[in-house]
Structure formats: C-alpha cells, structure tokens
Amino acid sequence: MDRVDAYPTHESQGYKLRTGKAFPFGASFVPGGVNFSVFSSHATDCTLVLFEKGASQPLAEIPFPDEFRIGNVYAMIVFGLDYENIEYGYRMEGPFDPSNGHWFDKSKILLDPYAKAIGGRDVWGTSPNWNDIYRYRGRLVFDDFDWDNDRPVEIPTENLVIYEMHVRGFTRHPSSGVKFPGTFAGIRQKIPYLKELGVNCVEFLPIYEFDEFEGSSPDPATGELRVGNYWGYSTVGFFAPKSAYAATGKMGMQVDEFKALVKEFHRHGIEVMLDVVFNHTAEGNEHGPSISFRGIDNKTYYMLTPEGYYFNFTGTGNTLNCNNPVVRNMVLDCLRYWAAEYHIDGFRFDLAAVLGRAPSGAPLSNPPLLETLAYDPILAKCKLIAEAWDAGGLYQVGSFPAYGRWAEWNGCLLYTSPSPRARTRYRMPS
C-alpha cells in the first residue's frame, strides 16, 4: 500500500509539494522526495532556492505556502528532485533593523544551518568566485555508509595519548609520501606511523566546513592571494566535513571519505576526537557577510547588546548565543549527529567558557548547555574536553562546570610541554 504522505497536495513551478515534517531540521529524504525544514522566529516569509550543482543561477525558487509553516518552522516536501545534482539554500524575508537585532535581506541566498554537506569550496587553495550569488551551497547527503560493525573504541580517558593534527598540514609535504597529500585519504596511509609513536587518539583541528580564503590578503612580494584562514577556526557549517580536505571532495564524496578514515582508525584501536568551535561563526561582526545564521534569525543565533551590536567574547567579532534554547538544541543536534553518524569518540570545545554565558553575556552558575551535553544519552560515552576560558576574560581552569563529565584543557601544560603534539593535556573530570 502506498503511503498517504507520498502524495503531493500542492504544485509550484512544475514541482509537486506537500506540507513537510518540522523535524528533523535540515534536508532529509522521505518517500518520493526531500523534506526541507528551517527555523526562524522573526522571518515573515521563506523561499526555498534550488540550483543544479555548480550553476550560477537558480533552477527554481519555491515560496513556502503559509500553511506549510508550523510554529516558527518552515517545512516542505519537494518531490521528484535529482538528489545528486541539487544544491539548495533559502531566502528569508523580514525586517532589516540592525538596532533591534534583525538583518533580513531577501536579496541574499542563505545556507541551511543544518546542511550535512556544503559545496562551493571543493578544492583547497582555489580562489573563490567572489561574485557568486551563493558561495556556500547546501547539498543532500545519503547516510548509507557501510560501517561493517565499527563502534567507538572507548579507551579510558586516563590512558589516552592524544596527537593533535591539522588535516592538511599533516601530510601536505612531499616527505609524507602519501598518494593524496593534505586529505582524509592521505592520513589513512600514516596510521602505522601513529601506532609506532604510541598514539591511541587523534584530535583533528576543525574539520567543519570553513573557507581558507576568509581574511585573505595579497602576498607583498608576488601579489598572489594568500590563504587567511589556514587553521579553520571560523565555521561556515557545523554539520558538514570540509570538502577541500577530501581527495574526493570535488566529486562530493567528503562524507564517505571521512567516515572511511574514522573506521580505519578504529580498526587500529585509535580514537578520533574533533576540535569543535561553537563559540562563533564565520559571519563576523556588523561588517561581516550574511552566510547563514545572520540572515535566517540573527537575534536568536547571536549574543547582542541592547543596541543590536555583537558581543565579542571570542575575539572574532561575534559570539554564538549558546544558551538560547534553539541554539542549544542545534549544538546538541550537531554533536549527536557526529557521534551517531561518524562514530566520533570525543570533542574538544574551543573557548568553551562561552558555552556557559547567558544571552546577556553574564556567566551562568548552572549553564543549561553544559549540563545538557553532560547528561545526553547519545553522547554518554563521548569524551567532553573544555578549553576552559574565552577571549572576554572568563578563565575557568580548575572551576569549569563539570557535572562529573567535563575534562579541561590545561593551558599551562599546553604552552610549556616540550612536545607540541603527542601528549595528554587536560584535567580529568571531577
């Protein structure tokens, strides 16, 4: 028997539609189509923008009918899409009133905060098309990887020997001898070397999608444009592995390539930990670009002063509003996704003191986000390690709210240890 929800009820520009499912947020597959769900508490209208992969102009722009809005969530099923050749984004309409926290601009196409893969920056060092109307593009992802009974390693925390690693830097030099230097695939060839060192946990510096050309400038000697964001601490999309870190990124296979790397590490008894940056985004301050969060619901996603300016507890121009319930849920959804779909063993939180601040910026005695992560059932076996300070002067080494779960990055050890890589450098949870 056919499912009732596989039948369209509406049509727009030749596409069959029906009311979508509010959860999960993002783009997900349903019988016969794709469910698009996006939250905004202050937008007045939302339009789904579809592109053929790599095309300069949209394939279609489909407004969400009023009856497709459920509370503050726009949800729509679109039938008959070419899943592997589609990119998507949103236009949001609402007030442009920065003094009251609103930056809506329907002329901009915005990235889905829950996009599981992002196109547009697929090859490292390739200069962006600065005139592209939609530079970072949401893509659909099939969760069909064969894990072959893989599971997290679960090494006791006190026994970890952690090797901090930049994905590109680790194998980029010809001396690494790998076939695909600077990629997830290249790292696989170096696992025997890591085993020889005695490493049993690799912590990757940020692998979420970022743009290495953010903050770029010309080389004074050659005039060539230099990479400005090599380290990746400026996130574009929290759910998507960086496509330029994958040898197969230009083919859109970065998800499977990273999963294959995690699987191989686990096969050799090595845990995989991610350095995650939930304290700010690549959108910067009032002079930065509208990529996603700012244009979708600026007042929800960022900490703002009463005058509408961005609190800057990160030294980067903006600060995520982590203890707003919507943002808190996004962080939780994201970490659950990486733990469940990528089998990640743990997370190191950059400038984690930010995660304990109220929307006003004041430190909280019982931060809801930190407590939620500590007791979450899906994250129960994941290591949680806090860099226990921020750029606003909140220094919590030795006093970070631990809930019996959180460990702390030890700043003194970090900067005095004679070995900058293979080492354990955190305070155990109390």
The set of catalytic residues is 350, 387
Residue 367 preceded by cis peptide, ω within 30: no
Angle between helices 325-341 and 293-301 (to 10 degrees): 120
**Phi, psi dihedral angles at 124 (to 5 degrees):** -60, 135
d(CA 65, CA 59): 19
Work out the burial of residue 114: count CB atoms within 10 Å of its CB; fewer than 13 is exposed, 13-18 middle, 19 or more buried: buried
**Phi, psi dihedral angles at 414 (to 5 degrees):** -55, -40
Q: Which amino acid makes up residue 394?
A: L
d(CA 110, CA 298): 12
Work out the burial of residue 296: count CB atoms within 10 Å of its CB; fewer than 13 is exposed, 13-18 middle, 19 or more buried: buried
CA separation (Å) from 239 to 112, 249, 405?
Answer: 10, 15, 24
Work out the burial of residue 176: count CB atoms within 10 Å of its CB; fewer than 13 is exposed, 13-18 middle, 19 or more buried: middle
